[in-house]
Homo-oligomer: A and B are copies of this chain.
């Protein structure tokens, strides 16, 4: 699995994303780290946050959306979920395809 995801721990990244597109990239950390990132963005006034993931993190992305919506941001709702695939270049130069998912949440 060549995963080149940008991990974000919540607080730090969120600070720099004010006003920009609100995206939480899902990586290999525990789900709750990303749930916190999503909830924090809404608490900071974001109207919409998109959860993005690829490869194995897709499962975590769905978990994050479900946990956030059911426990923390009941006022938000899921938008239209999209999936796709991206070609990534492995360390040895070969290419492989990896599936992606985008889950938009909005209040």
Contact = CB atoms under 8 A, between A and B. Distances in A.
A50 to B, nearest CB: 14
Contact of A66 (B65, B66, B70, B99): B99
Given A66-B99, A101-B62, A81 B81 contact: yes
Nearest to A66: B85
A65 B101 CA distance: 12
Interface string A46-90: 000000000110110011011000100000001011111100000
Interface of A: 55-56, 58-59, 62-63, 65-66, 70, 78, 80-85, 97, 99-101, 103
Instruction: Please name the 4 residue pairs, one residue from A and one from B, whose CB atoms are nearest each other, closest first.
Output: A81-B81, A62-B99, A58-B59, A66-B85
Given A56-B59, A66-B85, A78-B83, 15 more contacts: A55-B59, A58-B62, A59-B99, A62-B83, A62-B99, A62-B100, A63-B99, A65-B83, A66-B84, A66-B97, A66-B99, A80-B81, A81-B81, A81-B82, A81-B83
